[in-house]
Amino acid sequence: MREILTYLPQILPAYVAYLIAVISPGPAIMAIVSTSMTHGRKAGMTISLGIFAGSFTWACAAALGLATILQIYAMALQILKIFGGIYLLYLAYKAFRAVRGNDDLPQAVVQKSLTTRALLLRGYGIHVTNPKAIFAWLAIIALGMPQGAPASVAGLIIGMCMTTGFAIFMGYAVIFSTPHALKIYRNPRRWIEGAMAAFYCVAGLKLLTSRI
């Protein structure tokens, strides 16, 4: 334990970097917000678990030295980028269809609801098909683990970040599924869902056209 404490000057900046990244609005956060408002708290928390699993996947991959693998298999990353962009465009299409739907506020317990499996896979797919997530984790691990640091340092970084990420993801799901949030959502529903559609569309196109 004392050995790990000597690396705190590197660990803390890495943690702050993760905190900024996880709080910043992105496809994952927008998915939690929109799902919580349209399908309720349980659905929002379920998709949060999928996103959490995707983040944990990239965290472990970064800690295991995926940077070297990505240098060798660069084509795999390009394929992942294409799939991620297409998936975000698909979500944009789904959100656009919701805009053109009826004016009633969707109720998770009354109207059609997504299955737990579908929500988990959607959350996981959003995060794991976004190559930007792996680069964020590579930067966090590189920042917090100087050369020669023991594996326990990586474990501490991942543990701290994942605990925080879980709390933030679930917090978004709880906050945006409250009656007050639903009341706010009811009137400008089309505008909110239209903004979601535009966000996913821009994010998908940006991912498809960006250089990695």
pLDDT digits (tens, 9 = 90+) for 63-104: 887 555 555 555 666 776 777 678 678 767 776 776 665 444
- Over the range 14-42, which residues count as b (16 or more CB within 10 Å of their CB) and which as e? bbebbeebbeeebbbbbbbbbbbbbbbbb
Tokens representing 14 are: 């890495």
Q: Bigger pLDDT: 75 or 132?
A: 132
Mean pLDDT of 119-136: 86
E-assigned strand segments in 56-169:
none
Query: What's the pLDDT score for residue 99?
Result: 62
Q: Which of 64-68, 121-125, 152-156 has the lowest average pLDDT?
A: 64-68
CA distance 46 to 33: 12
> What's the pLDDT band for 175 if we cut at 50, 70, 90?
very high
Q: Which of 34-43, 86-95, 170-179, 188-197 has the lowest average pLDDT?
A: 188-197
Query: Per residue in 3-51, pLDDT tens?
Result: 677 878 888 888 988 888 888 778 888 889 889 988 889 999 999 999 9
| Predicted structure pTM score | 0.73
Mean pLDDT of 114-128: 91
Cα separations (Å) of 31 from 92, 107, 141, 142? Answer: 11, 17, 26, 28
Residues 6+ apart with CB under 8 A from 196: 30, 34, 95
Quote the distance between the C-alpha of residue 64 and its chain's center: 21
- Taking residue 158's Cβ as centre, other Cβ atoms within 10 Å add up to 21
Query: What's the pLDDT score for residue 160?
Result: 93
Question: For residue 54, which of 169, 140, 210 has the smallest C-alpha distance?
Answer: 169
